[in-house]
Amino acid sequence: MIFFYFLTLTSFISVAFSYNILGVFPFQAKSHFGFIDPLLVRLAELGHNVTIYDPYPKSEKLPNYNEIDVSECFVFNTLYEEIDTFIKTAASPFSSLWYSFEETLAVFQKENFDKCAPLRELLNSTVKYDLLITETFLTDITLLFVNKFKIPFITSTPNVPFPWLADRMGNPLNPSYIPNLFSDYPFDKMTFFNRLWNTLFYVMALGGHNAIILKNEEKINKYYFGSSVPSLYNIARETSIMLINAHETLNPVIPLVPGMIPVSGIHIKQPAALPQNIEKFINESTHGVVYFCMGSLLRGETFPAEKRDAFLYAFSKIPQRVLWKWEGEVLPGKSENIMTSKWMPQRDILAHPNVKLFISHGGLLGTSEAVYEGVPVIGIPIFGDQRTNIKALEANGAGELLDYNDISGEVVLEKIQRLINDPKYKESARQLSIRYKDRPMSPLDTAVYWTEYVIRHKGAPHLKTAAVDMPWYQYLLLDVIAFLIFILVSVILIIYYGVKISLRYLCALIFGNSSSLKPTKKVKDN
């Protein structure tokens, strides 16, 4: 009986396992780290021991969350260039891709790694970790810590996976119907030339990454661990799962293998109370508020004067108030209905019911926040995937694209008035919000589940498809196609020569017999 009571008691006791989790995020783009940071914090809240190397340390220390600052290690010199500079680099998908390669190549060099004391110390660490989490945009350099600790690893990407990321997961990414991130090709049906250029982009992206970025970072791997260790290319193909910032409301619908986990919106928390001055400014606006922010990399103060004045003109003509994230000290010519600040709580502002419109560069984190709250968007794409994101909203009737080169006071004013005054935009944004939220689990809970799943199942190798280990010519069925062509050509040649020989034989038979039946001409003797 005592044994029975013991079993009954223990059946109600849940056993919690605490894991040691390492995160390495040297890439200096706040939106990239902002996508995965909520997962790291949540894992610490659940009792796991989380050690993070990142360039954006928090101002306050969190329990179970040990944060090491690497903001001085890999500094991008062009992070806060003028907007016109970014425009020039984004003239085409190919120039955007090359700019990304060029900047990464310049920063992630061995000499910069040698100068990064925290990461060099980590290479000599004797701490035992259960899992590595890292970003994998263009920073496979972090995978050398897999060689160091011999542990499973999870990667994250702040957008739909690039060709080199899909390739390492064995995930199909067919350029015939999936437009690349840097383009504005339609999601539903691309033209022949769209597909042609899209295919060339995919080939150049995959080949360029492996030949340029990965080759450069492989030098660092070999320097520290020697030539006998697995290459970063082979390590990358051992990725357990990849957390991707994708959802069918915002991105092209793509097939996903089990190891590709979409968690778009993972960063969206419950809205917090607004600062009193901002809340008062919004609440007292009879006609609502327009929120204007160009993200963390594109500073509003770097707008050329004529572009800045175009917005000032448009804002002065509308009855709504305007919240403008302006990083400068003074905004020249600011009208009375504008409030500026170097920092604004974007997520909390967009959650306020009196916010009528969001003017943005189209970054995926901000765009997904607007979609979540059902706020229409005017998007001014500058670089990267921003044009694709805005095109998705435009296709769903929840926003409009404003080309940077078309900015003028009248154009901006006309777009603002149309999106605020025409109820179809708000209704489309509301419907998009409903679809975006309709999921079996929250994005954060999904990410936590799969993170712990990978640890529980020793890296979860059963999630990988056979495509990961296939040579490219087998994956593309080139050997099968070549064999079938060989068989087809052989059959055709056999038939051709068979018919040719048969006809020659028949001709010889027929014409040979005919000639033997012909009367011969007798020669008269003289």
pLDDT tens digits, one per residue of 81-134:
556 666 665 556 667 777 677 667 667 777 788 888 999 999 999 999 999 999
Task: Give the tens place of pLDDT for each residue, 377-390.
Answer: 999 988 878 888 99
Size of the chain in residues:
526
Burial letters for 511-520: b for 16+ Cβ neighbours within 10 Å, e otherwise?
eeeeeeeeee
pLDDT at residue 440, as a whole number: 95
- Own/partner pairs, 310-315, CB within 8 angstroms, 24+ separation: 310/407, 310/408, 310/409, 310/411, 310/412, 311/407, 311/409, 311/412, 312/338, 313/409, 313/412, 313/413, 314/409, 314/410, 314/412, 314/413, 314/416, 315/290
10 Å Cβ neighbour count for 20?
Answer: 16
Q: What's the rounded Cα separation, in Å, for the pair 363 and 350?
A: 15
Q: What's the rounded Cα separation, in Å, for the pair 373 and 57?
A: 28
* pTM score: 0.87
Let me know: does 388 contact 407? Beta carbons within 8 Å: no
**Strand, coil or helix: 95:** helix
Q: Classify burial at 85, counting beta carbons within 10 Å of its beta carbon; exposed 0-12, middle 13-18, buried 19 or more.
A: middle
pLDDT at residue 481, as a whole number: 97
The CA angle 55-58-64, to the nearest 5 degrees, is: 105
Query: Smallest Cα–Cα separation from 106: which of 28, 2, 168, 54?
Result: 28
Per-residue tokens: 441: 């689990």
Per-residue tokens: 397: 């009737």
pLDDT at residue 16, as a whole number: 57
pLDDT at residue 510, as a whole number: 84
Q: Which residues contact 491 (CB under 8 A, 6 or more apart)?
A: none
**Strand, coil or helix: 312:** helix
* Tens place of pLDDT per residue across the chain (526 aa): 454 444 444 444 434 578 999 999 988 888 889 999 999 999 999 999 999 999 999 988 999 999 999 988 877 655 445 566 666 655 566 677 776 776 676 677 777 888 889 999 999 999 999 999 999 888 888 999 999 999 999 999 988 888 999 999 999 989 999 988 878 787 778 899 999 999 999 998 898 888 888 888 888 889 888 888 899 999 999 999 999 999 988 888 899 999 999 999 999 999 999 999 999 999 999 999 999 998 876 777 778 889 999 999 999 999 999 999 998 888 888 999 999 999 999 999 999 999 999 999 999 999 999 999 999 999 998 887 888 899 999 999 999 999 988 999 999 999 999 999 999 999 999 999 999 999 999 999 999 999 999 999 999 999 999 999 999 899 999 999 999 999 999 999 999 999 999 998 888 888 765 555 455 555 555 4
For residue 360, the cross-strand partners are 293, 379
Burial letters for 111-142: b for 16+ Cβ neighbours within 10 Å, e otherwise?
ebbeebeebeebeeeeeebbbbbbbbbbbbbb
- Torsion sign across C-alpha atoms 262, 266, 267, 269: positive
Burial letters for 376-405: b for 16+ Cβ neighbours within 10 Å, e otherwise?
bbbbbbbbbbbbbbbbbbeebebbbbbebe
Per-residue tokens: 328: 């400068």
Per-residue tokens: 5: 């009571």
